[in-house]
Amino acid sequence: MKLKVLFKIILLMLIVIISVVFYYSFLFEQNKIASSTSKILEQNEVTLNKELTNELTNIEYNSFDSEGNAFYINAEKAIIDNKIDEKSTVRLENVVSIINIKNKGIININSKNAIYDRVNNNTSFYNNVEIDYLQNSIYSQNLDLIFTEKFSRIYNDVIYKNDKLILNTDMMFIDMITGDIKLQMNEKEKKVTLIADNEFIN
């Protein structure tokens, strides 16, 4: 009789121990899965928030300098760099810019890409750059507008056109105050090519 009772007690204890072990191991596994899922969701949310913070669409900037000149730039997409030393830098795609120089006219600029500094307005346009000013058109792969030094630099496959001439050069510098233009070839032995009124001048 005592043996039977002892056996029942041992059996009952085994069932309780197995139940407790199973419950806690199952609960631990569920917590582990929940914790892992939570971490993945948090990482995805951080990545998504980072992308939303860094990438903007249809963005525009407007500014005026001390002389009353206006600068406008618009892009289909803008990516803001989060690096400490580049907080003011914005990378732009499909760019349109308008510069209204007081008493001199409007300059229209189009390019596939640009890097714009929101602090000083210095802008580097690149990839299929087109510049229109009055009756003149300039095509190149690069244009640097250096507002801090009041000059612009146009380079890489530069073609200057108007009704009277077509000019090919490696580089063109424009003084943004006086409007003076300086032409330069990368190799000294090469010369600027100019076609004026159907005549070839080299």
Q: Which domain holds residue 183?
A: 54-201
Residue at 24 is within a domain: no
- Given this model, what pLDDT does residue 6 score? 65
SS3 of residue 63 by DSSP:
strand
- Structural domains of the chain, count: 1
- Given this model, what pLDDT does residue 87 score? 66
Residue at 46 is within a domain: no
What region, left, alpha or beta, does residue 176 occupy, with left being phi > 0 and alpha being psi -120 to 50 degrees?
alpha
- Given this model, what pLDDT does residue 36 score? 59
SS3 of residue 72 by DSSP:
strand
- Given this model, what pLDDT does residue 190 score? 62
Residue at 101 is within a domain: yes
Residue at 187 is within a domain: yes
In order along its 202 residues, the chain shows pLDDT tens digits of: 566 666 667 767 777 677 666 666 666 566 565 565 555 555 555 444 444 457 888 888 888 877 778 899 999 999 886 664 556 788 999 999 998 887 778 889 999 999 999 888 899 999 999 999 888 899 999 999 998 888 899 999 999 898 888 888 888 888 877 777 788 777 666 665 555 555 444 4
Please name the residue that has the structure tokens 């191991």: 25
Residue at 44 is within a domain: no
* Rounded CA Rg of the chain: 34
Residue at 82 is within a domain: yes
**DSSP letter (8 states) at residue 47:** H
Residue 174 pairs in a beta bridge with 152, 181
Residue at 26 is within a domain: no
CATH number at residue 183: 2.60.450.10
- Given this model, what pLDDT does residue 53 score? 52
- Given this model, what pLDDT does residue 166 score? 87
Residue at 48 is within a domain: no
Q: What is the dihedral of CA 178, 168, 130, 156, to 10 degrees?
A: -100
SS3 of residue 45 by DSSP:
helix
Write phi, then psi, for 28 (nearest 5 degrees): -65, -45
- Given this model, what pLDDT does residue 97 score? 94
Using CB atoms within 10 A of its CB, is residue 152 exposed (0-12), middle (13-18) or buried (19+)?
A: buried
